Structure 1
């Protein structure tokens, strides 16, 4: 599995540009021209809506929203959030739920390394900090994936140190009875995407290893 940091630490990547990059990499992985690849980056601020997004989840002030071909509902991506897009071949028979659980486990283990206790919430994807004296259940990491021809796209968004007010314009992931948090908010210290990228690569490699298929022999490509 190959990890590629896309301008991480130097530029906030435009969502449409990164989506095009995902599609190119996906086609190469499907064709056997590239090994399994995980793209890691920070986006410029953007709202994206998955296939299950309801009209009342969206901003009411005319803020633009990008409709995408992943599962899930509406969310925000932007500075202070580490995005990981695994583009990997899943083992057969393809089990999308097991793949999502593997992604969640990687983030649960990452958060534990940062001294943040997280969990899953029944019926809701992502990684959560359970309700406590500080507030309601709050989402630390959103998960939204697509699988085509046995190869994954999209992935996870880990809140390291984003401006959480960006979520105020939407109903994040269509959930109105919970909140959103970050590693920085939970620990009281600033934790940036660069601070967690090494550990994220390690945990993803460990969690996804059992879910992915061995690479097929590369297809010769004529110059």
Structure 2
């Protein structure tokens, strides 16, 4: 059975949103796409519904999230310490280990039916990384990949002081994606001291403002990242009224 292709992607700017609230809303959008795909399997192509796609940008109050196969020992704080600092903590259903989200970070959640684009998870992850790499290049920051490690890195070739600037962790089911990327723009890096980021003990974490010595316009960086992702995936982006999580 053929699949009706829809490259239109609804862009949603959620602003600052509680992590659990955003996660729940992601799950709703994800399930909506999966339900349409399941229903379409019983229909002739001419009767099938198009599946929706979403690209969401937001940021979260201070929170640590641990991936489904992550090691809880990589959180270096007790429950009482988290409470005292006002930091949330969730064990979630994405890949990867532990990471931090907070103000000054761009969190991107592509909720896509990959059958509208390509069915290759490796390619999907590389395209997310490429979007970030191109965005950083716009600011004169040379970034790339380190073999065997996800995310986007600086000093990725000589590896004298390799440091991660963007973390990634995704979930896919029936070729539908959720979760995504977290790019450190004006992020307060001291919060990474309370975890073993992504379970990696011998690498640093950095941000755009730490590298450039100045704060960046978050909206400007978002716009560049959005444009690069749209070009890579050949998305037809559209925006309707602002939909909050």
Which range, TM-score by smaller chain? 0.7 to 0.9
Q: Which residue is 1:22 aligned to? A: 26
Structure 1 runs (4+) greater than 6 angstroms displaced: none
- 8 A contact 1:42–1:81 mirrored in 2: yes
Q: Which residue is 1:2 aligned to? A: 10
* Aligned residue pair count: 207
> Is the alpha carbon distance of 1:61 and 1:192 closer, same or farther for their aligned partners in structure 2, counting shifts above 3 Å?
farther
Q: Which residue is 2:95 aligned to? A: 71
Alignment of 1:84-103 (within 5 A): 84-91=108-115, 94-103=119-128
Larger Rg: 1 or 2?
Answer: 2
1:42 aligns with 2:59: yes
The unaligned stretches of length 5 or more in structure 2 are 1-8, 37-48, 83-87, 237-245
RMSD of aligned C-alpha atoms? 2.3
Deviation at 1:136, TM superposition (A): 1.5
Alignment of 1:1-223 (within 5 A): 1-6=9-14, 8=15, 12-30=16-34, 31=36, 35-62=52-79, 63=82, 64-91=88-115, 94-130=119-155, 136-209=161-234
- 8 A contact 2:54–2:110 mirrored in 1: yes
SS in 1 for 2:114: coil
User: Relative to total residues, which structure has the larger helix share, 1 or 2?
Assistant: 2
The unaligned stretches of length 5 or more in structure 1 are 213-223
Deviation at 1:19, TM superposition (A): 0.4
- 8 A contact 1:69–1:146 mirrored in 2: yes
